[in-house]
Every structure is written in C-alpha cells, then in structure tokens.
Amino acid sequence: MESTDFESTLNTPLLENSPSSRRRRSFIFLLQWILYILMWVSFVLWIGFIVLMPSHLVSQLLEKANSTALGITGGVLLLFGLPLVIIASLGTIYIEISSNEWNKKKKFRSLRPRLWTFPALIDGPFGVVSAAELAVIVLFVVYILGTMAAYIISDSKIIGELPWASTEKRLMMVEFVGLHLGSVGLFCMGFLFLPVARGSILLRLIDIPFEHAAKYHVWLGHVTMALFTGHGLCYLISWSLEGRLLQEVVQWSSIGIANVPGEISLCAGLAMWATSLPFVRKHYFEVFFYTHQLYIVFVVFLALHVGDFIFCMAAAPVFFFLLDRFLRFCQSRKDVGILSAMCLPCGTVELVISKPPSLSYNALSFVFLQIRNLSWLQWHPFSVSSSPYDGRHHLSILIKPLGKWTNELKNMVSKTKEQTPTDLSTALPCNLNVSVEGPYGNEIPYHLSYNNLILVAGGIGISPFVAILRDLLHRIKQCQFGLPRNVLLIWAVKKSKELYILDIVDAERICPGFTNKICLKLQVYVTQELQPELENGNNANIVQFVSNADMETKSMSNLVGTGSVNNIWAGIYMISSIIGFVVTIVLTKLYYIDRSESTSWWSRGLSVILCMLLGTTIFGSLAVMLWNLRENKISKCQRKIDHTEESRESFQIYTHQKLVAAAEGLEKLVNPSNTHYGHRPNFKEIFGKVSEQWKNVDVGVMVCGPQSLEASVAKECRSYNLKNSENRVVFHFNSHSFDL
C-alpha cells in the first residue's frame, strides 16, 4: 500500500470503515458511474447533432418535429437544448453526492505527463496551450472545415444542375458559403457563452476554473467573429456584384431573414472584437469593459435577424449564461462590509471582506469586486489571499495599484492619517459601497493533489500563493495527512519594497516550528535593484483601518460560487427557470404565434429572448428568494453559535497580529539568504537542481504572473518531461494567471 493510502486510512474515522458505511460508499460509487455514463451519452448526442447538422438525418428529425404541437422551434430546442439540460440536471446530483470526503480527488500516483498539464504549444498566438487544449483546438478546426466542406460539396451538386449562367452560379455559391459560415458561427456562438457562465454547473462539473474558461472564451470569440464577419462579407460581395446592395442593406423583411438586425448585431460584435484585442485590453481596459456590454445588443439583434427556430440552435448555452448572470445579479445587489484595509509600503492594499460562515472557498479562489464609490459598472477580479482556516467570517484579497481604478482605491485607503497597531477602533477612512461576486475556482483544493509543489509568481501574482502558504500552515498545525512534503516558492519582483507582501503570511504565528514539519524553501529575485535598499522608515508607512461594519448584515451572499453553493437549491433554481422558459414558449405559441398568421420571423426571435427572461426572472426568482431566505436563516443561526462579538474580537486579534508581523518583520520568510538582486530566475538551473534533489516524483508547478514568465516556466516543464533520465521528475504545469 502506498503511503498516501496509509495516511488516508489513518485519517478515516472508524465508523466510515463499518459494513454499512462501505455499502453506502459502494452505492454512491455505482450511482456516480451511472450518472457519469448518462452525462457522457447526452454530451455525445449534443455534439453529434451539431456535427451532423449538414446531413439529412438532422433535417429529417426537424421535419418530423415540425408536425408536432411545438413545431420546428420545439424540435430544435429538443435536439440542441435537451442534452445540455440533462447534463446540467444530472451534474447537480453528481456534484452533490461527490462532495463527501471519501470522494475527493486523489493524489496523482504515476510518473507520467498528463494531457491537461503538459505544455504542448508555448510561443504561439494562443499563449501556453496544454496537450489536451491543443487536441480540442484541432478537433474544433476539423469540425469547422469538415462542416464547410460538406456544405460546399452538397451545394455544388445542387447549383451544378441549375440551368443558369456561370456568373449567376458563382454568385449563388458565394451566398451559400456566407449562409453556412453564419450557420457554423451560430454554433460557435453557443460554445462562446458556456465559458463565461462563471458559476455554471457545467463548468463546475468538469472542474474548469473561470480563469481558464476566460481563455477559452477569448479563443472562441475570435473564431465566432471571424465566421460572422465572413458571413457578412460574402453577402455584401454578392449583393454588390448583383447591383442590389443598397436595397438589401436596408431590408427588414417580416418573412425570412431580416438584414438590418443582422447588420446591427455584426457591428456590435465587431466593436467588441476590436476592443478585446490585447493592446486595447491592456492599455484601455475601461474601453474594452464598457464596449463588451454590447453583448446584449449582439444577442438580441441576432435573434431578430434569424428568427426563432434558427436562434434556438444556440439558445441553450445562451440560456445557461442568462441563468448564471441573473444569479450573479442577485448576489451582487447586497452591500458587503469591508472589515479592514491595510496599505503596505509598496502600495498594495489588502481588503478583508465579511462573509457568512456557510460560504466555503479554496485557497486558489478569486472574487469579482465592485466599489461603487469608484465605478458603478466596473468589476475587477482578485485572487483570495487568505485560507479558509483563517476565519469563518471573513476572507482577504490583495490589490496592487496598476491602473486608474486600483490607484483611486489605494488613495482612498491611505488618505487617513496613520494609526498605531494597537488602535483597532477607528472606522475606515470612507464609506466603501462594495459588492462581491464569487468566490470562484476549483471545486477542491487543487494544490493538495501533489506531494511536491513549485510555486512561481511574478509581482502581485504572489497573492494566490500567499493563500496556499497560509492554507498549508493551518493544515500542518491541524496534523492533516496527505499534504505536500516539499514546497519551493520562486518570486520575481521589480523592487524590494514589494517583499513586504509576504510578511503578512505570519508563518510562525500560524504554525510554530513549521520548518520541522514541511520543507518550505523560498527563492526571491529583485530584478531592478542591484542591492538591498537602506532602511528608510518604510515600515512606518504600513497603515491599517478596522471598520465597524456589521459582520452579520454586511456579509457576502453565497448564492454564487464554486464549491460554496447549495447544490440542491441551485438545481431547484435551474429546473424552475427551465420550466418557466418552456411554459412561456408554449403559451407564446398557443396564444400568439398560432393565432396570428402574419407573425414575422424577427418577432418570433424576439419572443424567444423574452421567454428566456420571463422564465428566469419570474419562475427562477421565486426559487432564488426562497433560497436566499434559507441561507440567511442558516447564517444567522451559525453566527449565534459562533457568538458574533467573540468572532469580531477574534478577527481584531487576527488583524492586529498580522499588522504587527508586517510592521516589525517578525519571522520573515524573505531574508538576505534567499533574496537575489539584479537578475531574473534561471529556471533551467532551478529545475535541474529540483530534478537532482527530489528524484522520481510528480511535481505540481503553479505559475501566476505575466505571459513571459508563464512561457519560460512552461518551456522548462516541457523540456524536462521529454527527457528520459534515470531519476525522472515529471513537472505538471498549471497556470493561475487571470486575464480578462
């Protein structure tokens, strides 16, 4: 038996080894496999219908559906929407029964690279791409090219039989190519909305954190807009050559495709596409962010353009996004209390946010933050820098001033005169109106899947690793089993004043004597300084403000989040919204479409959008209201048990100790012996030493920093994984960089 098995056995209560407990585990294991198989069957059917769209099979199914009471619109929803509904419904049950301790993800045990952690492409246009991601990209390209080829071959045969002139045939082929580019683009648009449903059960089911999903959304966005742009250009070229360009451009027909809404939708999409390019997104984030709200115009006018049954081919993913968006809207309406704010000498601000005891999160989680004093529309993502073990009633985030929004926040916090560490009664310098979405991240503590860790951070990328360090120290103090044995933290910063960030870890206070229980090594690189700065009183610039915010009424809502959501109520909300959507679709057909023979295509497309909204905001909101009441009641009971005053006193002691540690530099993790000045880390040398010292182990490499840092680390991971050395070390690359 391997050591991890032995450790997990020791850590398992005796009652869980009883015959009844073993039977229960066997039943859950069997149920998991049944659900797993059914979800895969549904997924294959969904993909199959999309891939086989050019074939006669799907056409025959739609013809049969047209003769039913729901008509072709209902048939399209069944073919392209029902499989996703089944996956989401079964996935809710699967996640709920998999939340037991014995069903947690186990550690990796074989010395071999894995598709999802092996960097296959590094310097290409997609950034660092894993082997699994590359395989999906190839399949996606094959689907697009194969579908277009099938359409063109079929159209060529039809057009070749027509008794027309060659010029007319070529123009018709151009229009057909445009038509099929739009058809394929419609399915790509459906995929486009799935990754941005942050708390969607579909993302949680495959355990893809939103920072990875956002990358897939960017890729799909480029593909979708390229297809839609080609779709529009083909028609413009054909109309121009036929001499009817102006007539078609201003056409808004009632029966068939309406051109004007399509042009509006395409213009909105092009605006989003242009402002999402890396240069604009990096240097003019506000322009990118505000322009991206045009997705509402993009979707609504697309539905007006194509009508109801064509839009329904992509309606299911859009509806799942709408479900998530409405739930996030409900969560973000609540004002959240800032319990304390600390401004470090480097300008980095730490905010401590009130949360209910029932809201759980992992050390690699992140939240979206809105501060209405600064902007009513902007939401910014920040990694959680605290461990769940730091306190049941609060979590913390680190914010580095890099742009206008973050600099204004820093100025707000640092304006009030400095306080002494013992003064914990002063309110924040201003009344911050804060809203929070999340937390998001992996379903389980992913950093515990490895026995050996290399954490590579650049600048403020240290934030999630601060959470990991605090989490590991708390777990070591509690004598938990199966924790990483070796941890190497590599941190590159520009200036030495940034090193104060690691002082808030306060390692020795969390776990006295931790150096005897875990092999924790740090290598810090200050790239823009040749020697340490002289003591210049920077410590005196550390200021902290503790708010008098009510920890009970001003805590976060836990309606949304990965791993913290009540799965049963989330399922009830989803099912009730779907039922509401179906009911409104049926009522619309019976009392509007069937009774109005002159109903236009564009109005039917608009009716589908309205049915989505009504199903979510009327039927779904009732479930959300009951869910919220229940969560508030549970939180109130938990706070009574925890005694709110004692919790506040404990929190104040926690903040006081952290401030003292940061101000006085007690038990610093960063010291002259592990700090290097004037150069960047040599990853080839570092990974070589790790291979020699650790030998024959799996190593989880987690990177959070700029793209150049990711690429450097990924290259070394790939290089060493391809070597067939005697003492082999397999490096599993994991990126935790977030880029909207």
Provide the token pair at 680.
């960047």
The H or E element containing residue 530 is none
pLDDT of 213: 85
Task: For strands 434-440 and 452-458, give the pairing.
Answer: unpaired
347: Cβ–Cβ under 8 A, 6 or more apart, which residues? 400, 401, 410
Task: For 469-491, give one letter per residue: b (16+ CB within 10 A) or e.
Answer: bbbbbbbbeeeeebbbebbbbbb
The answer to whether the CB of 391 falls within 8 A of the CB of 491 is: no
Place of tokens 């690699």: 364
DSSP string, 388-417: GGG-SSEEEEEE---SHHHHHHHHHHHSSP
pLDDT of 244: 87
pLDDT of 425: 40
Give average pLDDT by consecutive 10-residue segment, the chain, 740 residues. Answer: 38 55 81 92 92 82 72 85 92 80 48 82 83 91 92 87 82 91 93 87 82 87 94 92 88 88 94 90 84 93 91 92 90 84 83 84 87 83 87 86 84 62 46 81 81 90 90 87 87 86 79 80 86 54 55 73 77 92 88 75 91 92 87 73 53 53 56 82 88 84 89 89 74 81
572: Cβ–Cβ under 8 A, 6 or more apart, which residues? 623, 627
How many beta carbons lie within 10 A of that of residue 701, not counting itself? 26
Q: Where are the beta strands (DSSP E) in 174-300?
A: none
Place of tokens 């009633």: 393
The H or E element containing residue 303 is helix 295-306
pLDDT of 265: 95
Q: CB-based burial of residue 686 (10 Å sphere; 0-12 exposed, 13-18 middle, 19+ buried)? A: middle
pLDDT of 512: 80
Global confidence as pTM: 0.85
Alpha carbons 233 and 175: distance in angstroms, whole number: 10
How many Å separate Cα 484 from the centre of its chain? 25
Q: Residue 336 has what DSSP assignment?
A: B
Alpha carbons 165 and 159: distance in angstroms, whole number: 11
650: Cβ–Cβ under 8 A, 6 or more apart, which residues? 391
In the three-class reduction of DSSP (H, G, I as helix; E, B as strand; rest coil), residue 486 is classed as strand
Give the CA distances from residue 511 to residues 107, 299, 394, 471, in Å, rounded to whole numbers and listed in that order.
Answer: 24, 53, 20, 11
Place of tokens 């008509």: 71
